[in-house]
């Protein structure tokens, strides 16, 4: 979605107030300048540039910068969230979650031998912080335009170019040095799934919420799985427990609803 917004806003940025001169009146330009300058400039930069429809508005207001910057910031925030998730999911191996393993790109911690820092997720997060800071700068500069002219475009353009540049470079590094090398610790993930009390959701759906809650609390109290408690209490047969308490069932809402309906229909019959 952020990429789509950036592409759409980029199209709008092709309209320029070049030739507006004094406050948008086109005062002092020669005849034919407006008709000639845009085709020549477009050929030089390789982008189809056009004059802003309202030159007065083009000099007074710079809201298009806010649109572009906010789209870049939205992308940065999404990437930062992904990086945070990777730091959490790859934490461990003994005192963390450890569901994922991310590539090692440095020898390790200078303080704790054997500790490997998640430097690539941390790198991209710091870039995203800078992008958000630049967006705030752009907002302030756009808002502070006075009367007929916004004179703060130098800092706007500097902040915009910096944000786009560091995020672009950072994303390529993040993809190459981190994303491509991620491995999933499947056995550990499946162990977490099998022992998760989230499976009590199935019991609550098959029977009722109080039953699901009771089973979950007993499982936690006795250090057992939802499957073990369900079989011990006679709620499900071993075969039924294998079928309905398969963790993968919780990943497919449509199949989950179908299975629950089939079970209840079978019991009613």
Q: Which residues are catalytic?
A: 109
What is the C-alpha to C-alpha distance for residues 70 and 132, in angstroms, rounded to an integer?
A: 9
Distance CA 155, CA 63 (A): 14
CA distance 136 to 24: 27
Taking a C-beta distance cutoff of 8 angstroms, is the pair 58, 13 a contact? Answer: no
The secondary structure of residue 19, as a DSSP letter, is T
CA distance readout (Å), 50 to 40, 59, 163, 170: 11, 15, 25, 32
Nearest to 156 by CA among 53, 61, 52, 48: 61
List, in order, residues 6 or more apart from 239 with CB less than 8 Å away: none
The backbone torsions φ and ψ at residue 204, rounded to the nearest 5 degrees and listed phi first, read -60, -35
Per DSSP bridges, beta strands 50-51 and 15-16 are parallel
3-state secondary structure of 149: strand
């Amino acid at each position: 979605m952020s990429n789509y917004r950036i592409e759409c806003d980029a199209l709008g940025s092709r309209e320029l107030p070049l030739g507006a001169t004094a406050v948008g009146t086109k005062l002092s330009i020669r005849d034919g300048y407006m008709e000639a300058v845009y085709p020549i400039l477009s050929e030089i930069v390789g982008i189809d540039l056009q004059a802003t429809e309202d030159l007065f508005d083009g000099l007074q207001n710079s809201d298009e910068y806010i649109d572009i910057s906010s789209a870049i910031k939205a992308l940065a925030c999404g990437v930062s969230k992904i990086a945070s998730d990777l730091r959490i999911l790859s934490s461990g191996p003994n005192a963390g979650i450890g569901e994922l393993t991310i590539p090692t790109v440095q020898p390790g911690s200078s303080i704790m031998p054997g500790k490997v820092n998640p430097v690539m997720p941390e790198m991209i997060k710091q870039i995203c912080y800078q992008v958000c800071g630049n967006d705030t700068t752009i907002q302030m500069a756009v808002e502070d335009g006075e009367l007929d002219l916004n004179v703060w475009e130098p800092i706007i353009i500097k902040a915009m170019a910096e944000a786009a540049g560091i995020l672009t470079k950072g994303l390529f590094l993040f993809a190459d040095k981190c994303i491509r090398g991620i491995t999933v610790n499947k056995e550990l993930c499946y162990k977490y799934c099998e022992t998760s009390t989230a499976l009590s959701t199935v019991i609550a759906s098959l029977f009722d919420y109080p039953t699901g809650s009771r089973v979950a609390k007993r499982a936690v109290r006795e250090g057992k799985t939802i499957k073990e408690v369900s079989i011990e209490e006679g709620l499900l047969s071993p075969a039924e427990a294998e079928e309905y308490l398969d963790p993968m069932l919780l990943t497919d809402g449509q199949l989950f609803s179908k299975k629950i309906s089939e079970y209840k229909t079978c019991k009613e019959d």
